[in-house]
Amino acid sequence: MKFKTSLLGGAAVASVLLIGVGSAAEAKTVKRHHVAKHAEHVEKVNETAALRSEVSELRAQVDALKAWRDSQAANQAQSEAQLAQVKQQLADAQVQAQAAQAKVDAQIQTIPGVVHHEVLAAAPKDDAVHFGVDPDTGKSALSLSLAGSFLEFATIYRNHQEGADISSTFSGIPFGNVVTSHLKETRFTARQSRLAILAQGEVPRYGLHLTGYYEMDFQGAAQNANSNESNSYNPRIRNIYAAVDWDRSFGGLSLLAGQNWSLATLNNKGITPRNEQVPLTIDAQYVPGFNWTRQPQVRLTANLNKQLWFAVSVENPQTTFYSSGKFLPAVSPVPTVTIPGGSGFNAANVLSLNDVPDVIGKVAYDNPVMGHTLHLEAFGIYRDFYDRLNYAGAPYNGHVAGGGFGGGIILGVIPKMLDVQFSGLAGRGIGRYGSGQLPDVSFGVDGQIHPVQEYEILAGGVFHYGKALDVYAYAGEERQNPQNYSGLNGTSIVYNGYGNPNYNNLGCETEGSTVCVGNTHYIDQITAGFWDRPVALRFGKFQWGIQYSYTERHAFYGNGGMASPLAGNPAPIARESMVFTSIRYYPF
């Protein structure tokens, strides 16, 4: 109990102590609280002042920001207006750019055509290959062309055998005594196919035009050429020459040197090479009455404003002969030369003796008349015939002059549709200048050379139906006068000359007869044909044609011991119908 009371007492004392201590602590705490409250109040006052200051600053900042915002809003409104304007301008620019681009695209699409057109406009208007550029003109300095070349397949039909290829032998149409006169002839040939090369150079600074030309076909026939298996015929020269043309204030001058058509050949414009009026026939011997040769020459030409032309040509001489072989005793003319080996000539051919060239002068005039083209020309030929004559043991060289005059006209009756032409040549010793190839000269019984009197005429016309069709017709004649030379050889009379009326033609119509001198008096021909170009090709052209010709070869009347031709010694006639066809391709 005592222990319990002690505990209670101790607890009470402890409680009092704790209460006291707690009251003291509380009092102390209250005091501290008041101090803290005061400090907190002071601090809050200070904080309030600071806040107020900060608020004031913030309000100032807010006001500044509001002012900036308002300024920015105004600026933004202005910028947005400007931006809208810029956007509109950009949209307009884009529309314009798209339109411009579309226009550019459209122009770009046309550029290849324009460029092609410009290239074509600047390119030379020909099919030549051009080399180099002239520094003065910017044009090509040299051109090379194959124009005029063609490939041909041709057929030939003759109702009397001539033994000829694409070139007929009008003076060799056989009379009835010859076996071949009773035989027909059909041939296929490609020998007229042609290669032509034209080189042209320009020197404008000096007004010079330079030309080189080479033209060949395959009508050469070497000793080993035949139609048995390989049909191998060799090329031959047609034309090969060089020319220089000078432009001058009065017109121009031209110098040509080489092998070309004779100056006696009719031109269709001026007097210029490659402008010859050659008949359009498939027959490569053309038409009787056509005046031509192709031979080496030197030619000088002058023109006055390309209207009036003058030319002179010195050309290679050659003589064609006829002789009966009958002369007076101790007379032996030598008109030809024996071909030596290695001479460059074929011994099967006859080479005449000549020491003076043929000289030809020509004048031509070109001027339209009331819209119709007109070409006129006239020319003269001088020839010299030469031989070695042994007369009664006294040999000497003989000279005989010959020659003639000719001319031609070409008229465009219907412009670009119908052209007509007429040409002719008359003189002594002019046979080699005609397609009939009649003799230039014959001989007297004393061995003297005598030129044969002759004329050659040709008339024709060509109808052009656009560029696709040409229809042509020609009529020609070559006629020679007779020569009568005779003399006594012992007790007999001998005859010489050409077409001597004492020659015997009694056997000319009897097959196998040898009694037929048959000198040709004249050759007539009419021929017609066409060339059609059915296909227009990008490279080259294709054409085909047909030609028909009817030819008569008339011999002189002979005597044969009879007093009159009516007594039975006739003037024999050989007639020939020929049909030619041709297919040609001109690649250039």
Q: How far apart are alpha carbons 294 and 508 in whole angstroms? A: 34
Higher pLDDT, 60 or 410: 410
Q: What confidence tier does 15 reach under pLDDT thresholds 50, 70, 90? A: very low
User: Which pLDDT belongs to residue 564?
Assistant: 47
Q: How far apart are alpha carbons 449 and 483 in whole angstroms? A: 12
Q: How far apart are alpha carbons 177 and 455 in whole angstroms? A: 28
> Cβ(453)–Cβ(480) under 8 Å?
yes
DSSP letter assigned to residue 15: H
Q: How far apart are alpha carbons 188 and 227 in whole angstroms? A: 10
State yes or no: pLDDT of 563 exceeds 50.
no
User: Which pLDDT belongs to residue 4?
Assistant: 40
State yes or no: pLDDT of 14 exceeds 90.
no
Q: What confidence tier does 29 reach under pLDDT thresholds 50, 70, 90? A: very low
Q: How far apart are alpha carbons 131 and 118 in whole angstroms? A: 20
Task: List the Cα angle 157/159/165 in 5-degree steps.
Answer: 45
User: Which pLDDT belongs to residue 231?
Assistant: 85
In tens, the pLDDT along 236-277 reads: 999 999 999 999 999 999 999 999 999 999 999 999 999 999
| Residue 385, amino acid | F
Q: How far apart are alpha carbons 521 and 523 in whole angstroms? A: 7
Q: How far apart are alpha carbons 553 and 520 in whole angstroms? A: 7
| CB contact set of 341 (below 8 Å; sequence gap of 6+) | 347
CATH number among 2.60.40.10, 1.10.3720.10, 1.10.10.10, 2.40.160.10, domain 129-586: 2.40.160.10
- Please say whether the dihedral angle defined by the alpha carbons of residues 340, 345, 348 and 353, taken in this order, is positive or negative: negative
State yes or no: pLDDT of 39 exceeds 60.
no
State yes or no: pLDDT of 129 exceeds 80.
yes
User: Which pLDDT belongs to residue 30?
Assistant: 41
User: Which pLDDT belongs to residue 226?
Assistant: 84
User: Which pLDDT belongs to residue 104?
Assistant: 63
Phi-psi label, residue 499: left if phi above 0, alpha if psi -120 to 50, beta otherwise: left
Higher pLDDT, 329 or 588: 329
User: Which pLDDT belongs to residue 126?
Assistant: 65
State yes or no: pLDDT of 561 exceeds 70.
no
Lowest-pLDDT range of 116-120, 331-335, 399-403, 473-477 = 116-120
State yes or no: pLDDT of 505 exceeds 80.
yes
User: Which pLDDT belongs to residue 114?
Assistant: 60
Higher pLDDT, 436 or 120: 436
> Cβ(221)–Cβ(227) under 8 Å?
no
Q: What confidence tier does 228 reach under pLDDT thresholds 50, 70, 90? A: confident
Query: So where are the chain's domains?
Result: 1-123, 129-586
Question: On the CB side of 233, how many CA atoms lie within 13 Å of its CA?
Answer: 18
Percent of the chain with pLDDT over 90: 62
> Cβ(547)–Cβ(504) under 8 Å?
no
Q: Is 253 exposed, middle or buried (0-12, 13-18, 19+ CB in 10 A)?
A: middle
| Residue 274, amino acid | R
Q: What confidence tier does 356 reach under pLDDT thresholds 50, 70, 90? A: very high
Direct distance between the N- and C-terminal alpha carbons of the chain, in angstroms, rounded to an integer? 159
State yes or no: pLDDT of 37 exceeds 70.
no
User: Which pLDDT belongs to residue 43?
Assistant: 62
Burial 156-177 (b: 16+ CB within 10 A, else e): bebebbbebbbbbbbbbbbbbb
Q: How far apart are alpha carbons 277 and 373 in whole angstroms? A: 14
User: Which pLDDT belongs to residue 566?
Assistant: 47
| CB contact set of 194 (below 8 Å; sequence gap of 6+) | 148, 149, 150, 152, 215, 216, 217, 238
Lowest-pLDDT range of 5-19, 159-173, 294-308 = 5-19
Higher pLDDT, 240 or 55: 240
State yes or no: pLDDT of 18 exceeds 60.
no
Residues 465-492, mean pLDDT to the nearest whole number: 94
Higher pLDDT, 119 or 337: 337
Question: On the CB side of 428, how many CA atoms lie within 13 Å of its CA?
Answer: 11
Lowest-pLDDT range of 71-75, 280-284, 327-331, 502-506 = 71-75
Lowest-pLDDT range of 261-265, 403-407, 464-468, 486-490 = 486-490
In tens, the pLDDT along 432-452 reads: 999 999 999 999 999 999 999
> Cβ(326)–Cβ(332) under 8 Å?
no
| Residue 389, amino acid | L
Lowest-pLDDT range of 94-98, 413-417, 475-479 = 94-98
Structure tokens at 250: 């009065």
Higher pLDDT, 284 or 569: 284
**pTM: predicted TM-score of the whole model, two decimal places:** 0.78
State yes or no: pLDDT of 562 exceeds 60.
no
> Residue 528: phi, psi to the nearest 5?
-150, 155
Q: How far apart are alpha carbons 408 and 379 in whole angstroms? A: 9
User: Which pLDDT belongs to residue 140?
Assistant: 75
Average confidence score pLDDT of the chain: 86
> Residue 571: phi, psi to the nearest 5?
-100, 95
Task: List the Cα angle 276/277/282 in 5-degree steps.
Answer: 110
